[in-house]
């Protein structure tokens, strides 16, 4: 008997220059995606980050008024580690982000400001696979990103954006969803993995509140595990996997 062959992930498209990553919380990109971002910025591509919230409800022992500014600083530092200098916050409320026109409009506005060919987001499905339930903010933001990539190109859905000087941008060619249960594509994480670990470690206050392990051991173990698991479907190289939607 032959072993069933695991379907392999395809390499991500490379014929693009600008990407915009739009996620719910500080740390969403660092939990698995940052090695790909490091590889892209190394190759001279531009990547911007947009966070729907400041993650102000993310640390049990810190009230939101203190937590929000702290997590914003941590997010800017972790972006810098992988070559990203543009970090914006849409100021939706952490934990209760609502899918709807307001969120789609804010994301469409960001897409028009940045004019990306590739948009990145995080798993928008109900679960992480099996019985691991996803959080409502990830579901709301992920779905809104997939929709807003199209809204950004339509002059009439949010006419107030044109009045603000944001002309339609029809140039988004793909939306890549990280953390998907059904990935289709991948990026080699070999060169970016150390910086991905350093990038996650910038969320030190969050990690220290989360685990009793040393933050260094926790971050390396987590990210190596994710990259190795994706790599099983990418020729054995450590990888960051995405589900790629064409537009």
Binding site for Zn ion (CB under 5 A): 24-25, 28
d(CA 223, CA 78): 15
Q: Name which of 41 and 121 has its Cβ closer to Zn ion.
A: 121
Q: How far is the CB of 138 from Zn ion (least distance, A)?
A: 6
Q: Name which of 25 and 112 has its Cβ closer to Zn ion.
A: 25
Q: Name which of 78 and 158 has its Cβ closer to Zn ion.
A: 78
Q: How far is the CB of 188 from Zn ion (least distance, A)?
A: 25
What are the contacts of 61-69 at 24+ separation with CB within 8 A? Answer: 61/209, 62/205, 62/209, 64/94, 68/94
Q: Name which of 24 and 37 has its Cβ closer to Zn ion.
A: 24
Q: How far is the CB of 126 from Zn ion (least distance, A)?
A: 15
Tokens 């590739």 -> residue: 118
Q: Cβ(29)–Cβ(51) under 8 Å?
A: no
Tokens 């190596």 -> residue: 224
Q: How far is the CB of 159 from Zn ion (least distance, A)?
A: 32
Q: Cβ(241)–Cβ(233) under 8 Å?
A: yes
Q: Which residue is nearest to Zn ion (CB)?
A: 25
């Amino acid at each position: 008997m032959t072993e069933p062959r695991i379907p392999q992930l395809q390499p991500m498209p490379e014929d693009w220059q600008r990407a915009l990553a739009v996620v719910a919380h500080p740390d969403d990109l660092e939990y698995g995606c940052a090695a790909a971002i490091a590889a892209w910025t190394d190759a001279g591509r531009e990547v911007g980050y947009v966070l729907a919230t400041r993650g102000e409800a993310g640390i049990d022992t810190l009230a939101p008024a203190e937590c929000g500014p702290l997590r914003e600083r941590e997010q800017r530092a972790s972006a810098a580690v992988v070559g990203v200098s543009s970090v914006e916050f849409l100021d939706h409320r952490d934990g209760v982000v609502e899918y709807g026109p307001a969120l789609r409009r804010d994301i469409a506005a960001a897409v028009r400001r940045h004019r990306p060919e590739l948009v990145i987001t995080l798993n928008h499905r109900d679960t992480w696979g099996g019985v691991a339930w996803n959080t409502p903010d990830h579901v709301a933001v992920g779905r809104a990103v997939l929709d807003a990539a199209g809204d950004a190109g339509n002059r009439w859905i949010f006419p107030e954006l044109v009045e603000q000087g944001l002309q339609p941008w029809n140039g988004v060619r793909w939306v890549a969803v990280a953390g998907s249960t059904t990935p289709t594509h991948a990026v080699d994480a070999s060169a970016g993995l150390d910086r991905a670990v350093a990038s996650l470690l910038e969320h030190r206050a969050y990690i220290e509140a989360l685990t009793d392990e040393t933050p260094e051991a926790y971050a390396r173990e987590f990210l190596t595990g994710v990259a190795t698991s994706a790599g099983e479907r990418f020729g054995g190289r450590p990888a960051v996997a995405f589900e790629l939607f064409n537009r």
